[in-house]
A = this chain, B = another copy of it.
Amino acid sequence: MHVAIPLYPRFTALDAVGPYTVLAFAPGVTVTFVAGQAGPVLDDRGSLSIAATASYADLPRPDVVVVPGGPGTLEALSDQALLGWLREAHEHTRWTTSVCSGSYLLGAAGVLKGLRATSHWAVLDGLGDFGAEPVSERVVVEGKVVTAAGVSAGIDMALTLLAQVNDAETAQAVQLAIEYDPRPPFDAGSPAKAPEGTAERALTLIS
């Protein structure tokens, strides 16, 4: 099982590394970071770069694609190398997935037409522009197309995926291996639950 995670400038690190860690811990799974060309790709904070070890041309037919989001999505919407690769890879994938605003790139590649899909809460409504039906859920499974909400939701998505790709026992073993027994010190992780004013503050952090 070969998983490809495309990287582009100003991606959000946890969008990529959450699912990466979950999937790479599973037996029989290989994960490769890909980009227009191999080499380091800088994230949205400008302080973390992850090395892409293959170009899109090197890995045309991965079994699974996980597209991370981030502020760089906007520029990536006109990255024809990325979108062309997504479009063609999707024809052969077992699963085509995204985290956060990565769903915009699936949308731009034509993958989401007529499908329910999700994204980061701050940009969810815009998914309608790609012919998708935006839904406010943590993980949305539509056949082989799986979209996750913002950033940390990629961890939940990858565990859901792993239970399908392998089995529940494997997903649970990975969950325990990464001790994913979350205890956030606050209950502010969704706009519906966060205290008044939090969404405005959050928007200033992600823009």
- Asked if A36 lies at the interface with its beta carbon under 8 angstroms from chain B, I say no
Considering only residues 191-207 of chain A, those with a C-beta below 8 Å from chain B are: 191, 193-195, 197-199, 201-202, 204-206
Instruction: Determine chain A's interface SS by DSSP, over half rule.
Output: mixed
Q: Give the contact-size bracket for chain A.
A: 35 or more
Q: Which residues of B contact A170 (CB under 8 A)?
A: 201
Considering only residues 1-49 of chain A, those with a C-beta below 8 Å from chain B are: 12-14, 17-18, 20-21, 24-27, 30-33, 40, 45, 47-49
Known: A14-B178, A138-B181. 18 other contacts (CB 8 A): A13-B21, A17-B48, A24-B48, A27-B205, A49-B51, A50-B51, A149-B181, A156-B182, A156-B184, A169-B197, A172-B201, A175-B184, A176-B201, A177-B205, A178-B189, A179-B189, A181-B184, A182-B184
Q: Which residues of B contact A184 (CB under 8 A)?
A: 155-156, 159, 175, 180-182
* Alpha-carbon distance A139/B185, docked complex (angstroms): 10
> How many copies make up the complex?
2
Report 28 cross-chain contacts, Cβ distance below 8 Å, ordered by A residue.
A12-B21, A14-B18, A14-B178, A17-B17, A32-B47, A33-B48, A139-B183, A139-B185, A152-B155, A152-B178, A152-B182, A153-B181, A156-B183, A163-B185, A169-B195, A172-B186, A172-B195, A173-B201, A173-B202, A173-B204, A175-B184, A175-B186, A176-B190, A179-B189, A179-B190, A181-B189, A181-B190, A181-B193
